[in-house]
Chain A
Amino acid sequence: MNERVIETENLTKHYGDVVAVDNLNLVVHKGEIFGLLGPNGSGKTTTILMLLGLTEPTAGKVRVLGLDPVRQPLSVKARVGYMPDEVGFYDELTARENLIYIAKLNGLPRAEAYRRIDEALARMGLHEVADRPVATFSRGMRQRLGVADVLIKQPQLIIMDEPTQGLDPEGAREFLRIISNLKQEGITILLSSHLLHQVQAVCDRVGLFHRGRMVLEGTVTDLAQQVLGSAYRVHLQADGSPSALMEALQRLHNVVEVRQEDHNRYEVAARSDVRAEAAKAVVAAGGRLLSLDVEAPSLDDIYARYFEEVEHVTTAGSSAK
């Protein structure tokens, strides 16, 4: 289970003077969904292209499925499915014709290719429109055709660049469901995105990119601990003396900060889910508990906070000069 599907060692890419990827050390294990996060231009796409051997690294090592994409690009590309950002098709050809071309480029025998194409189209719910030109397809259909296109080579690893960008909420939800299903088949998935709540919904682990470096890495809860200092936010509503309640809550184990939001609403930031303890403390302090709710750590918060801090540090640094 702990087999390494992707491994990079001090991977670096320069475009002239611009450092697109800077000493990246990334490990993705078999069967997991790993999310690359970060603003545009932070090096996500460049990293993906280097993993596929479509761009040569300036320095460092890459291993994908135990192969070197620089020297064995054909073997890597035969085993890895890549869905580029805003995937494009030949509009004048039908969905099936587009896939036949891909099957031929993969050197599949005809009968096997047709079987896989039918299977992939049926699976993506495109069977009925298989013989319609792609020009008539909606964005969601194109995106699903993109997945069908990747499935034809029966990949061990799928890399998706911004897969849910431009989809409507229903389309995006459906797409995330497809990704989860692929994971259940044991396919490892690497996806890049800046749509955080979607990444959070499917990814096992995420890596946050900033100016070519992976500045944070881990599960969403880990990141929340690192960046926010507290991963959980408990919202509670209670009648009673505010000072007494706040003092009681503050004393709880794992609580980082207590804030009064309204006359009887409080927010407790904590390192663990402290709902039960908080309820007990409110009652013990003579309060009447009206409601209690926990907010799981959100990537949006982590992301916003992280870049706020980075911004703060850089502006402080430049004003000091």
Chain B
Amino acid sequence: MSLRREAVQSESFREGSPWTGLWAVVAKEMADHLTSVRMRVLEILMLLTAAGTVYAATMNLRTTVGEDPFLLLRLFTTAYDPLPAFVGFLGFLVPLVAIALAFDTVNSEFNRRTMSRILAQPIYRDALLLGKFLAGLFTLALILTAIWLLIIGLGIIGLGVPPSGEEVGRSLWFLLASIFYGGIWLALAMVFSIVFRQPATAALSSMAVWLFFMIFWSIIANLLAQILQPVQYGFAREILAQAQLELALSRLSPNTLYTEIMLALMHPTVRSVGLTLPIQWQGAILGSALPLHQSLLLIWPQLTGLIAATILFFALGYVLFQRQEIRA
């Protein structure tokens, strides 16, 4: 009886934890990322952007110190011609860094012919893939956190006003959202690095998807909404249905989700990121700030959407990688 159970067990279970060796992979990959020339260039680019936009914002804000209760958040969101605001830059810098971190994760191991040697060590493929993903995510988090601290520091020096707990909380949630916004592009670039053997193909495909969502998706969402929910008689109901469909479609893009999160978190007075009718504003004191947890409630679906998309893309890459033949 027990012999039979043992036989059944050995039939259906793999020995050991799938995460054996995970931290060795994470440490090695992170060291690679942090010392690579590619990352140096991107770090410098991000630092310059942060310093430039924040300096410009400080110049602009000095005139209004004392009037705005959310001065720290204004540092991130104030544009000063000709520079856009820092959050505007983040919208495309984060995907750029994420794609740069991940587009050659798997295919470069094949191209350097190290894959079979690494997988011949006592680890599972699970540990290798998750280790590479976590290393990318940690690197991204490290860069973004450093910049976040830098901006707050610059703000304190430049404006001479200490940040309030509410502001720090809001910007921390925004930092988290930025990391997972990067996570989506990281996981996507990783999927392409599994599918394509050429790193250049993987990089260009990731860029293509990113540009598609960045530039074309809003146009396509608009056209699709017009086709699927045409306004035939000009009823308010029809117009509303069309607008709602367009909004729903545009939310398939991570860029839209990220922009909405940014709006709600960084502008405490924003009360809705969707469509609202005047009737729904009844009793609201327009222009007054929402508390943090109310703003969070507002963008909770967007935030979970970002995290879910990251996990989804990673799962896709995971399945593809597990099925891949190791021989080059």
Q: What is the interface of chain A, defined by CB distance below 8 A to chain B? A: 15, 45-46, 49, 52, 54-55, 68, 71-75, 77-78, 80-84, 86-92, 101-102, 104-107, 146, 149, 153
What CA separation (Å) do A124 and B32 show in the bound complex?
A: 27
How many A-B contacts are there with CB distance less than 8 Å? 88
**Any chain A CB within 8 A of the CB of B327?**
yes
**Any chain A CB within 8 A of the CB of B198?**
no
What CA separation (Å) do A55 and B326 show in the bound complex?
A: 8
CB-contacts of B272-328 with A (<8 A):
325-327
Select which of B14, B117, B325 is within 8 A of A88 by beta carbon: B117
CB-contacts of B102-116 with A (<8 A):
112-116
Q: Across the interface, do A105 and B116 meet the contact criterion of CB distance under 8 Å?
A: no
CB-CB nearest 7 A-B residue pairs: A88-B113, A82-B120, A104-B24, A105-B121, A78-B122, A84-B116, A74-B16
Give the chain B neighbours of A153 by CB distance below 8 A. Answer: 121
Q: Across the interface, do A90 and B124 meet the contact criterion of CB distance under 8 Å?
A: no
Give the chain A neighbours of B119 by CB distance below 8 A. Answer: 54
**Any chain A CB within 8 A of the CB of B146?**
no
Give the chain A neighbours of B124 by CB distance below 8 A. Answer: 73-74
Give the chain A neighbours of B13 by CB distance below 8 A. Answer: 71
Taking residues whose C-beta sits less than 8 angstroms from the other chain, chain B's interface range is: 20 to 34
Q: A49-B327, A78-B122 are in contact. Are A84 and B21 (CB under 8 A)?
A: no
Q: Across the interface, do B122 and A107 meet the contact criterion of CB distance under 8 Å?
A: yes
**Any chain A CB within 8 A of the CB of B2?**
no
B14 to chain A, nearest CB (A): 6
Q: Across the interface, do A74 and B28 meet the contact criterion of CB distance under 8 Å?
A: no
**Any chain A CB within 8 A of the CB of B15?**
yes
Q: A45-B327, A107-B122 are in contact. Are A74 and B116 (CB under 8 A)?
A: no
What CA separation (Å) do A286 and B14 show in the bound complex?
A: 75
B94 to chain A, nearest CB (A): 26
Q: Across the interface, do A82 and B116 meet the contact criterion of CB distance under 8 Å?
A: yes
Q: A55-B326, A71-B13, A71-B14 are in contact. Are A84 and B117 (CB under 8 A)?
A: yes
CB-contacts of B71-116 with A (<8 A):
112-116
What CA separation (Å) do A92 and B124 show in the bound complex?
A: 25
Convert B11-46 into 0s and 1s, putting 1 for each residue whose CB lies closer than 8 angstroms to a CB of A. Answer: 101111000110011011000100000000000000
What CA separation (Å) do A46 and B124 show in the bound complex?
A: 19
**Any chain A CB within 8 A of the CB of B172?**
no
Q: Across the interface, do B112 and A91 meet the contact criterion of CB distance under 8 Å?
A: yes
